[in-house]
Amino acid sequence: QVQLVESGGGLVQPGWSLRLSCVGTSIRFNLYAMEWYRQAPGKQRELVAVITTYGTTNYGDSVKGRFTISRDNAKNTVYLQMNSLKPEDTAEYYCYADGSRYSLGGYWGQGTQVTVSS
């Protein structure tokens, strides 16, 4: 019943920007930390960014200074602003709702493809 739906992916040139969105339905959004992961072909799934229920943020080293995670609980939405994109950012991007603080379950979105190429 819970759904997380990502959007905003696409094909962009190096140095360009994208903003990803993840909208939750049938979920008490404010009770969940929200996280972005990415996975490129042949590679492990990588944690990109986290925003807690209090709004504190953390980033993977590979995206620090370029990406920004934010959330709007009134819209049940988490965002990932991606600037200065590089070819190595090419991956499928997934959002994850992490309910561990309140002993709730976790939920994955279906992903959105980001391709950075000239």
Q: What is the pLDDT of residues 9-64, one digit of tens each?
A: 999 999 999 999 999 999 999 999 999 999 999 999 999 999 999 999 999 999 99
User: pLDDT tens across 66-112, in order?
Assistant: 999 999 999 999 999 999 999 999 999 999 999 999 999 999 999 99
CB neighbour class for 82 (10 Å; exposed up to 12, middle 13-18, buried from 19): buried
What's the pLDDT score for residue 57? 98
> Looking at the DSSP assignment, which residues form a beta bridge with residue 27?
none
Contact between 33 and 100 under an 8 Å Cβ cutoff? The reply is yes
State how far the Cα of 114 lies from the Cα of 8, in Å rounded to an integer: 8
